[in-house]
Structure 1
């Protein structure tokens, strides 16, 4: 995977760009035509997909094309299920697909089938293989770098004498390797990596099992930090650490700004998460899908190009992730309207919220 040029988008710029597209496009602009857009998300296991991505994408699609129909499917982390879902949407006459692919290699033939049927595919959040027509995602290398930098900061001047465990994502997806490479670019040579595990399906249960193995191998006192690739992985890792009565808990990273993870930031059980402004991502993907459905070029939406394993120079929007610790919650997640104070500061966290300046 490589980019032709650097193309991170500031949140305000992305919002303005997508808003401007509401009045553009063929057939008389937004609401002047109608077609079906297939939205295929990969997992129920990570709360962000149904809590944020789906409603934001559907809302933006309706704003850009009021008469368009949206068909939704969630694959539940099963590539075979997602293959059938894609086939069904093509058969039912979808004009364009927004695809967050479960397994890029396994679904390559489905992307090719869509292309042959004249159905363009927008790869969302993960870079699919095959002849996709556009890509909207976050800079995965930067996600990993932010996690690695935060962990080193938490370890402080003891980092060079510390041992960490890396809890990576599912290797069947391209993002997991992207995140890992970003983290290693920061961590290698700065801290000892005692164990490194891949987490099948990004599931917290699998992360719990892997952390239990690390505890057995390194001992409860032998883990000074945990590089967890996502908040769901952090959930399992922290559960295993607490089950082994590790106190104090070592710093643990995360990603996705899940509500439970944000509450863990407040309680001190998790050190940081990576917030990916989903509204910008959803807006750019919706704009690409509507443009492609109308037969328009997406060059005015894309901010650069990216290559996958099979196709070069794919129009892309590569967005900038944001690191969040407890000190940043108010100026990021609350400011953006992702959560309210009341959602985060449940009764048992009121004292911690007061200490963090949230209430």
Structure 2
């Protein structure tokens, strides 16, 4: 099995895309034998719906199309120590490439260094790991995610005549490098808007339960001053919405989100959430699979840009509101109308033209 790391060439243009020069993969199915090599896919948690629903199956499907490569899959369940153990097990089992979405991007440096020592390349998937030699990084423009969230947040509050409203910021996990970028992008917009940030919170492990508990405490402190909640993803948005509903906050605050989770799309339709951010996971997962196979085969990789010395692809996120659900998540097949329009939200779907 070839383990030599191929040299990444950085393209002169900044267009989003990926070319695998000289790579002409044969169609095939994963048969469990790993005849052409083994790829370890290490995902961070099960609380975020996208990982098991989209990232894993899309990645495995694309690998199967590329040839008889075996995928060793593990989910860390929100535990950095467990992810370390899973990575060590994958290396011991002979993984030729690690595709690592780190639960804790600082702690994951030790995983990268162990892989480096073994001559195994690491693709930093979705979150940029804080150190070690990375073969590739693929994610979304994370500051743009925060910008999109905050722009819609400010717009909705201003349309309601609340341009100087008091708001809460429920940020992402302090162990997630993406969370700080979401926050930076959002803060620039919010700080320039005239909104008053009453309090903000970095949610450990992106836990909806912890977000709900914190928001409940802020409601007790600030009561009717809260007219908006910037929530960094749909999971913590769900926690915030639960706290707001339990306290019967009225009028209901503007709430943001991210990841286009099914429950979030439904909350947008029922008026409990203003927006989410759709990130097209299929091209992300497929490109990660293609790069992993190219690394095994010693193929030359051409990346559109370089981030902190690592060849990278950044995909573009899209804001989703009630006006463009059909043009985004439904048009892409991310969710179907049947998925979204359950009996509980059928009337809201009809009113919004989701049919």
Fold conserved between structures, TM > 0.5: yes
Instruction: Note the 1:25-36 alignment, pairs <5 A.
Output: 25=23, 29-30=25-26, 34-36=36-38
Aligned-pair CA distance for 1:207: 0.5
- Contact 2:150 / 2:189 at 8 angstroms: preserved in 1? yes
Structure 1 residue aligned with 2:222: 218
Provide the rounded CA distance (Å) in 2 between the counterparts of 1:244 and 1:37: 48
Provide the rounded CA distance (Å) in 2 between the counterparts of 1:329 and 1:160: 26
Residue 345 of structure 1 pairs with residue 341 of structure 2: yes
Instruction: State the TM-score, normalizing by the size of structure 1.
Output: 0.90
Aligned-pair CA distance for 1:31: 5.3
Structure 1 residue aligned with 2:86: 85
Q: 1:31 to 1:348 in 2, by over 3 A?
A: closer
Q: 1:42 to 1:113 in 2, by over 3 A?
A: same
Provide the rounded CA distance (Å) in 2 between the counterparts of 1:37 and 1:123: 13
Residue 104 of structure 1 pairs with residue 105 of structure 2: yes
- Contact 1:122 / 1:289 at 8 angstroms: preserved in 2? yes
- Contact 2:11 / 2:304 at 8 angstroms: preserved in 1? no
- Contact 2:22 / 2:299 at 8 angstroms: preserved in 1? no
Aligned-pair CA distance for 1:347: 0.9
Provide the rounded CA distance (Å) in 1 between the counterparts of 2:176 and 2:12: 23
Judge which range, 246-255 or 234-243, deviates more. 246-255
Q: 1:248 to 1:5 in 2, by over 3 A?
A: farther
Q: Which one has the bigger helix percentage?
A: 1
SS in 2 for 1:338: coil
Structure 2 residue aligned with 1:310: none
Provide the alpha-carbon RMSD of the alignment.
1.9
Structure 1 residue aligned with 2:5: none
SS in 2 for 1:60: helix
Q: 1:96 to 1:31 in 2, by over 3 A?
A: farther
Aligned-pair CA distance for 1:293: 1.2
Structure 2 residue aligned with 1:72: 73
Aligned-pair CA distance for 1:159: 4.1
Residue 204 of structure 1 pairs with residue 205 of structure 2: no
Aligned-pair CA distance for 1:71: 0.5
Provide the rounded CA distance (Å) in 2 between the counterparts of 1:163 and 1:83: 41
Provide the rounded CA distance (Å) in 2 between the counterparts of 1:274 and 1:224: 21
SS in 1 for 2:124: strand
Structure 2 residue aligned with 1:52: 54
Match of 1:165 among 163, 168, 174: 168
Unaligned runs of 5+ in 1: 308-312
Match of 1:315 among 311, 314, 324: 311
Aligned-pair CA distance for 1:264: 0.6
- Contact 1:7 / 1:317 at 8 angstroms: preserved in 2? no
Aligned residues: 337
Match of 2:187 among 178, 184, 187: 184
Deviations 1:45-77 (A, max 9, x none): 11110001111111111112x210001000001
Q: 1:4 to 1:201 in 2, by over 3 A?
A: farther
Q: 1:97 to 1:270 in 2, by over 3 A?
A: same
SS in 2 for 1:52: helix
- Contact 1:8 / 1:319 at 8 angstroms: preserved in 2? no
SS in 2 for 1:206: helix
Instruction: State the TM-score, normalizing by the size of structure 2.
Output: 0.91
SS in 1 for 2:39: strand
Provide the rounded CA distance (Å) in 2 between the counterparts of 1:198 and 1:179: 11
Deviations 1:165-214 (A, max 9, x none): 00000011101100000001111031111110110110110100110121
- Contact 2:264 / 2:276 at 8 angstroms: preserved in 1? yes
Provide the rounded CA distance (Å) in 2 between the counterparts of 1:8 and 1:277: 16
Q: 1:151 to 1:4 in 2, by over 3 A?
A: farther
SS in 2 for 1:225: strand
Structure 2 residue aligned with 1:122: 123
